[in-house]
Structure 1
Amino acid sequence: MKKLSEEHQLGETLQRFLVILGLSLSCACAAHAQVSEGICGPLRGGHYGPYDYRPDHHKQAAGDQMPHSDKRVLVEGAHFTPRVENLVGAQSGGQMGPPGADLSYTLRAFPNNHRALVSVVRYGEKFKTENPPALQYPVECYFERAIRFAPDDVIVRIIYASYLTNKNRHDEAVAQLKISTTLAKDNPFTQYNIGLAYFDLKEYSLALEQAHRAASLGFERSELSDKLKSVGQWQDLSDAPEAASAPAVASSSAAD
């Protein structure tokens, strides 16, 4: 029951992120520069961190007595308050100026802070630029840094796929979702949300595979199947041989 509860919380949180991104972003289709470590900077070099945002992936350094939860409270209490998350303004420096510096600090300490990544995307959209005020690196760099730091973080990749979708970078978004499918393994909620992301990309056959994969793992929501039915793309499992084999393929890929 504990594992199921954790998976449910993960799936619900991820779905909330996708809704936020979908409502907040308009298409920004200008040419984009390729991000890289050279552009996006080293992960280390700050005075605090970097730490994994996920408690179950945090590696406690020798001599470090501070619990992971306290690290998050310390950073978010000083730099990622509701004021910063909602892009009202800065938290540090007497709450003067824009929130860019506090967002940068938060994502230096926890490169894969999921909520902060969503806020950075919204911050760039607010100013209609990849380089909004006081942000240390271009918006997309924070995804490059998060993936470099935690390549197995499926939520980072799905948020990134939504960002790429809204930039009309279809193939790159699909590539991130395919990686996410393997990383999600037997988490039905995340597999289901990947299906919703595929639907937004109009990749209906892949969305169908995900719908059946999530169902095979015990996920019973009908939103994705209803969406596929609305565009004439739904097939029952018995009529969709590729979808029927998808769960086994996913398990095999994860094992490999």
Structure 2
Amino acid sequence: MKKTYRGLHYPLTFFALFGAFQLVYAQSSMCGNPFTKAGNGPYDFRTAEPGKRSVVENAHFTADVQTMRRGASTKNLAADIAYTLKVMPNHHQALLTMGNWSLKTGSNPPIGAEYTVECWFDRALRYAPDDAMVKVVYGIYLIKRGKPQEAVNQLEAALSQAGDNANVHYNLGLAYVDLKQYDKALESAHTAYRLGFPLPGLKNKLARAGAWRELPTTK
């Protein structure tokens, strides 16, 4: 099917694609440009020189900020996290802390954060699309936020980048449990524990749902 505007003919797929582009553009505009100069950054958290990292972390992402006790350079703890994420958009622990602080305070964005938690993850994903750990941390946040299907999407993408990773399989299993997809959750659990993941939480959740099964022993 085609629509006609002033003698021009457009397939409906054009409008669907254009609409999707507009949505992505609106999201990126709303969340700002992660490549904008900030301090002596931005730079990739994974490859940043230790000296550059310490300049930011010692002033803004201190132990007090990371454990959500108090701010460092300001009374608004989220402002220190936000500055850290402007300089290092894919700072894994800062992303995790921003999400946890939002959940703890019940505010999104938290006071001083400037952007929503989802925006900070959007910025990280655009800045470092090859960073599987950003997707893992986002998946963990989405599980806590009660959005298991969105969590699965992020964690499956992380798995495709990171390969067999115990942490990814474990959190993917938690998301599957929330979706009541117990067969997939059990498979993820077995893989996570085979790879050495130490926490029993996923196994316990499956057991409470009556879905835990030990792998058959091989002789």
TM-score in same-fold range (> 0.5): yes
SS of 2:117 mapped into structure 1 = coil
Answer whether contact 1:181 1:194 (CA < 8 A) is retained: no
- Paired residue for 1:43? 34
Answer whether contact 2:172 2:188 (CA < 8 A) is retained: yes
Alignment of 1:140-159 (within 5 A): 140-159=118-137
**Structure 1 residues 214-238: Cα deviation after superposition (integer angstroms, max 9, x where no partner):** 456x437582445434422234556
Alignment of 1:84-233 (within 5 A): 84-92=65-73, 96-214=74-192, 218-219=195-196, 223=200, 224-233=202-211
Over 6 Å off, 4+ runs: none
| Distance across 2 between alignment mates of 1:234 and 1:100 | 39
Answer whether contact 1:88 1:98 (CA < 8 A) is retained: no
| Deviation for aligned residue 1:105 | 0.9
Structure with the larger RCO, 1 or 2 (CA within 8 Å, 6+ apart)? 1
- Paired residue for 1:10? none
CA 1:43 to 1:138, structure 2 compared with 1: closer, same or farther past 3 Å?
A: same
| Distance across 1 between alignment mates of 2:69 and 2:193 | 41
Percentage of identical aligned residues? 39
Residue of 34, 52, 62 corresponding to 1:81: 62
Q: Runs of 5+ in structure 1 lacking a partner?
A: 1-33, 59-66, 239-256
| Deviation for aligned residue 1:42 | 0.4
Give the greater-gyration-radius structure (CA): 2
TM-score (norm 2): 0.73
| Distance across 1 between alignment mates of 2:197 and 2:78 | 40
Answer whether contact 1:228 1:234 (CA < 8 A) is retained: yes
TM-score (norm 1): 0.64
**Structure 1 residues 119-150: Cα deviation after superposition (integer angstroms, max 9, x where no partner):** 21232234322122221212221111111112
CA 1:112 to 1:235, structure 2 compared with 1: closer, same or farther past 3 Å?
A: same
**Structure 1 residues 48-91: Cα deviation after superposition (integer angstroms, max 9, x where no partner):** 2222222xxx2xxxxxxxx6222221110111112222333332
| Distance across 1 between alignment mates of 2:199 and 2:96 | 26
Answer whether contact 2:159 2:165 (CA < 8 A) is retained: no
Q: Runs of 5+ in structure 2 lacking a partner?
A: 1-23
**Aligned residue identity for 2:158:** S
**Aligned residue identity for 1:210:** S
Alignment of 1:17-32 (within 5 A): none
- Does 1:52 find its partner at 2:30? no
CA 1:42 to 1:98, structure 2 compared with 1: closer, same or farther past 3 Å?
A: same
| Deviation for aligned residue 1:162 | 2.7
| Distance across 1 between alignment mates of 2:41 and 2:110 | 24
Answer whether contact 1:131 1:139 (CA < 8 A) is retained: yes
| Distance across 1 between alignment mates of 2:61 and 2:198 | 33
Answer whether contact 2:92 2:134 (CA < 8 A) is retained: yes
**Aligned-residue CA RMSD (Å):** 2.8
